[in-house]
Amino acid sequence: MKKPTPEERLIVALDVPTAKDAQKWIKKLSPVVKRFKVGMELFTAEGPQTVTAINTAGARVFLDLKFFDIPNTMAGALRSAATLKPFLVNVHALAGPAALARCAQEMKKLKTPPKLLAVTVLTSFSEQELKRIGLGGVDATVTKLCGMALKAGLDGVVASPREAALLRKKFGNDFLIVTPGVRPAWADANDQKRITTPYDAIRNGADYIVVGRPVLDAPDPRETARRIIDEIKEACAWKKKAGRI
């Protein structure tokens, strides 16, 4: 698998309500940011045009719609998503092994499919909250769901940067880890519970980090993105020195 450049490893979450807002951010950030995430808020309001606008600006899209349904419906949703040419798409691992396997098969039929990720445990979950819905500890659940997704033929997982090292140790390097729940040392945690800095996320084994509010709410968003990319570069340099790249 070709490794992304440090610039490509930062995915900025465009959690905004309108295409007009999105366009403003793409224009402002795309000289520095090469990957954007389109999620439920923007996609529900404005649909495919938001993905097209990012592709047209020369950047790539992580289409974060977290599909969770019966296998046939998930496969159909992914086929539709793939026509928009995102580089990453995702489904919920909790949809189960049969649905995951069907989704992976569906993507393999395409000539240039996006990479397919399974969301393990959302980064806004704390240990206590996860127990409250009847699941075990975070590490055990993330490990179990990751193993299930890889066995089903998916390309990787979405997990918190705190679990990335554990997943690398258990499952090796030949799959993608994408981590939201990333907060530079100077930023607010907001509603995210299982967080690390960009430097630690990459050092722990994340391929891509997703950052939303710390960039969009910053006084100088473009400079903030640049600072995050500098942290990613430092972490990549550390990994190279340690022979982990």
How far is the C-alpha of 154 from the C-alpha of 146, rounded, in Å?
Answer: 9
Name the residue with the smallest CB distance to ligand C5P.
212
Write the binding mask 137 to 176 for ligand C5P: x where contact by CB under 6 A, - elsewhere.
---------------------x------------------
Q: Is 232 an interacting residue with respect to ligand C5P (CB under 6 A)? A: no
Stretch that binds ligand C5P, among 81-89, 116-124, 196-204, 233-241 (CB under 6 A): 116-124
Judged by CB under 6 A, does residue 210 bind ligand C5P?
yes
- Is 193 part of the annotated catalytic residue set? no
- 2: how many CB neighbours lie within 10 A of its CB? 4
- Dist. CA 98–CA 102, nearest whole Å: 6
Q: Which amino acid is at 195?
A: I
Q: CA 165: distance to chain centroid?
A: 16
CA dihedral 106, 108, 110, 111 (to 10 degrees): 180
| Size of site (CB under 6 A) for ligand C5P | 16
**Residue 69 beta carbon to ligand C5P: minimum distance, rounded to whole angstroms:** 17
* Residue 190 touching ligand C5P (CB under 6 A): yes
Chain residues in the site for ligand C5P (CB under 6 A): 13, 15, 39, 64, 119, 122-123, 158, 180-181, 190, 192, 210-213
- The catalytic residues are 66
